Amino acid sequence: MRLALDSDVFTDWRYQKPHTMRQIRDYRTRFGRFPRLTAMTVFEARFGFENKIAKSPSVDERLERDRLAMENLIRLSGVLEIEERTTAIAAYISARLSQSERNRLRADVFIAATSLAHGYGVATRNQRDFELIGHHLPPEITNLSLAIWKP
Amino acid sequence: MQTVTDTLQPEIMAGVLTGTVYSPLPDRVREHQAELVFPAFHYSLSAPVVEMFMVADSGQSTVKIALDEAVTMICELKGKRLNGREKMDVSVSFENAADRARASFVAATLQCLLWLAGPMKLRIPALELDLEVEFIAPLEEVNQTMHIRHVAYRLMVIERAFDRKLTRSLLFFDADVDRIAFVYHAIVDRSFVWPFFQAQFPFPANEQSLDILKDADRPSVRRLNVAHYEADVLGVSLALGRAIVTIENGVIVNLEEIGRELGTLDGHEFPALIKSLTGAATYEFPDAPRLSETKWDKRIEEFLALDRQLDEAIFQAANQLAAQSLADLNEEEKAEVTARPQFD
């Protein structure tokens, strides 16, 4: 199953966690390309830099250098966009979660919905939350495929 | 939305690190050998120069090297003689005379080598041409070309196993890539797990089919025999023979209809709609065509032997970006830039 990376797994890769590096290397060899990122994962990763930059009084070259590397990595991986079908899936799932789950899983719902809309599974270490999302899929979607990439 | 795997980039550029070219070059040269050396990969290849010409007094020359029966590598050399030496730029493009998997595989492999193997040497001894060149490209283009190479090889395997020519164009959609992968696994692996959501299977209305109603009201392992499995690849239907599809956590969707159809026991065929709650099934293809044990020719064998080095090189390049995206920050800053946004 083709996979998109959850934000936690993308962060693990950036932290050079050995188990994540191994999974990504294996995936690339098997599929001939790197796992994709969802637009929500990209938003979360970019937000981290923007949030830091917004609080900095002056241009920080270190941040800019690291941000540039991340942008190149995003371009290399490719981004699954949020399209109309994504919003329909996300709305269906969100409406069936409790208020607290909805608040807590807002981003994950969009990561899952985007992946589903494009025919991808999700590589995550957050099995419990994505399984919960997977229990509330629209009837035309039978399954959210998960790859659990944990140490 | 479908994602398109693009065709090869038309041209790649490089700066010459060191090298000399002696002018004037003959207007037209044939039957000389070009040598491409990739020291970091401990690999070199020779191929005939099929055409070479220069534009008088412009410092521009073109060398065409026949890499394979349908693939020509075109090197454009542009430079001026300074202090007795040539200062040159080189651009390379590929002419693909056949929209076939083999041609794409050969061109993509060479292109990936130029990008991933570091400085390389281009030599044409008969012309006293000896250049050291390093090509640099955006990593996403390299990644894309590696993917084309990956898919093109799988198509070559399918063409060979079925003894069919398949490709008209190598512009792939994700769905094409999936179908190519499915048939490739059927040929090479014979048994494999594949995404499975819901499908119709034909059953005859007879006593043997009553088995389907066992545990019909709950998820269970459903093992189904398909007499003739056909898969479509790039518009061509390929017969994979008998298939055994094992669906873990399979449930019957149209139970009521099945009960009604089976009740007649008159042998007529009806569809059973089965879905998997885990989204996967194991496919076995005992009778699918096999890849002949004869090796590929020397060029393809050599290019296949580069798989590990190419895979590792692109992984390392991407991994370096991942590492660099936090490399200049202290632990506190790393935690800050990787924290997920909080909206409440």
Mean pLDDT of A111-119: 96
Looking at A54-63, A87-96, B11-20, which range is the least confident one? B11-20
User: Is the CB of residue A142 less than 8 Å from the CB of residue B277?
Assistant: yes
d(CA A142, CA B2): 20
- In this predicted structure, what is the pLDDT of residue B266? 87
Cα-Cα-Cα-Cα dihedral sign, residues B76, B79, B81, B85: negative
Higher pLDDT, B216 or B283: B283
Average pLDDT of the residues of chain A: 94
By Cβ distance, the residue of B138, B275, B339 closest to A48 is B339
Looking at B27-41, B223-237, B253-267, B277-291, which range is the least confident one? B27-41
User: Is the CB of residue B135 less than 8 Å from the CB of residue B115?
Assistant: yes
Which candidate, B102, B28, B117, B115, places its Cα nearest to that of B71?
B102
Higher pLDDT, B23 or B16: B16
- In this predicted structure, what is the pLDDT of residue B7? 37
Higher pLDDT, A34 or B61: A34
Phi, psi of B296, deg, nearest 5 = -70, 170
By Cβ distance, the residue of A29, A49, A62 closest to B311 is A29
d(CA B344, CA B327): 30
Mean pLDDT of A88-101: 96
Cα-based distances in Å from B83 to B20, B86, B251, B267 = 11, 8, 79, 90
Q: Do B321 and A69 touch (CB under 8 A)?
A: yes
For residue B325, what are its two tokens?
């995206």
- Residue B141, pLDDT > 80, answer yes
Residue of chain B whose alpha carbon sits nearest to that of A46: B337
Partners of B271 in the beta sheet?
B202
Mean pLDDT of A90-116: 96
Contacts of B344 (CB under 8 A, 6+ apart): A103
Q: Do A143 and B279 touch (CB under 8 A)?
A: yes
Residue of chain A whose alpha carbon sits nearest to that of B146: A32
Which candidate, A45, A47, A24, A48, places its Cα nearest to that of A36?
A24
Q: What is the pLDDT of residues A75-84, one digit of tens each?
A: 999 999 999 9
DSSP secondary structure, A61-97, as one string: HHHHHHHHHHHHHHHHH-EE---HHHHHHHHHHHHTS
Cα-based distances in Å from A138 to A3, A51, B204, B281 = 20, 35, 32, 21
Which residues of chain B does A121 touch, with a Cβ-Cβ cutoff of 8 Å?
A: 195, 279
Q: Do A32 and B315 touch (CB under 8 A)?
A: no
Higher pLDDT, B48 or B29: B48
The alpha carbon of A97 is separated from its chain's Cα centroid by a whole number of angstroms, namely: 20
B202-206, B269-273, B314-318, range with greatest mean pLDDT: B314-318
d(CA A24, CA B32): 43
d(CA B104, CA B9): 12
User: Is the CB of residue B145 less than 8 Å from the CB of residue B8?
Assistant: yes
Q: Do A69 and B174 touch (CB under 8 A)?
A: no
- Residue B41, pLDDT > 80, answer yes
- Residue B21, pLDDT > 60, answer no
Mutation to test the A interface, candidates B306, B325, B329, B340, most A Cβ within 10 Å: B325
- Residue B100, pLDDT > 70, answer yes
Which candidate, B292, B316, B313, B326, places its Cα nearest to that of B118?
B313
Average pLDDT of the residues of chain B: 84
Higher pLDDT, B227 or B29: B227
d(CA B24, CA B213): 83
- In this predicted structure, what is the pLDDT of residue A98? 95
Q: Do B150 and A16 touch (CB under 8 A)?
A: no
Q: Do B336 and A48 touch (CB under 8 A)?
A: yes
Q: What secondary structure, in 3-state letters, does chain B show?
A: CCCEECCCCCCEEEEEEEEECCCCCCCCCCCEEEEEEEHHHCEEEEEEEEEEEEECCCCEEEEEEEEECCEEEEEEEEEEEECCEEEEEEEEEEEECCCCHHHHHHHHHHHHHHHHCCCEEEEEHHHCEEEEEEECCCHHHHHHHHHHHHHHHHHHHHHHHHCCCCCCCCCEEHHHHHHHHHHHHHHHCCEEEEECCEEEEEEECCHHHHHHHCCCCCCEEEEEEEEEEEEEECCEEEEEEEEEEEEEEEEECCHHHHHHHHHCCCCCEEEEEEEECCCEEEEECCCCCCCCCCCCCHHHHHHHCCHHHHHHHHHHHHHHHHHHCCCCCCHHHHHHHHCCCCCC
Q: What is the pLDDT of residues A10-51, one digit of tens each?
A: 999 999 999 999 999 999 999 999 999 999 999 999 999 999
ipTM computed for the complex: 0.95
Distance from the A91 Cα atom to the nearest Cα atom in chain B, whole angstroms: 18
Confidence of residue B1 (pLDDT cuts 50, 70, 90): very low
Cα-Cα-Cα-Cα dihedral sign, residues A113, B273, B244, B213: positive
For residue B70, what are its two tokens?
């349908």
Which residue has tokens 């521009």? B60
Residue of chain B whose alpha carbon sits nearest to that of A75: B140
- In this predicted structure, what is the pLDDT of residue B105? 93
The letter for the amino acid at B35 is E
Confidence of residue A142 (pLDDT cuts 50, 70, 90): confident
Confidence of residue B87 (pLDDT cuts 50, 70, 90): low
User: Is the CB of residue A79 less than 8 Å from the CB of residue A37?
Assistant: yes
- In this predicted structure, what is the pLDDT of residue A120? 94
User: Would residue A32 be called left, alpha or beta, if left means φ above 0 and alpha means ψ between -120 and 50 degrees?
Assistant: left
CA angle A6, A147, A117 (to 5 degrees): 60
Residue of chain A whose alpha carbon sits nearest to that of B151: A32
Which candidate, B70, B74, B64, B66, places its Cα nearest to that of B104?
B70
A144 CB near a chain B CB, below 8 Å? yes
Confidence of residue B282 (pLDDT cuts 50, 70, 90): very high
Q: What is the pLDDT of residues B169-201, one digit of tens each?
A: 656 677 888 899 999 999 999 999 998 888 888
- Residue B24, pLDDT > 60, answer no
Mean pLDDT of B317-342: 95
User: Is the CB of residue B266 less than 8 Å from the CB of residue B221?
Assistant: no
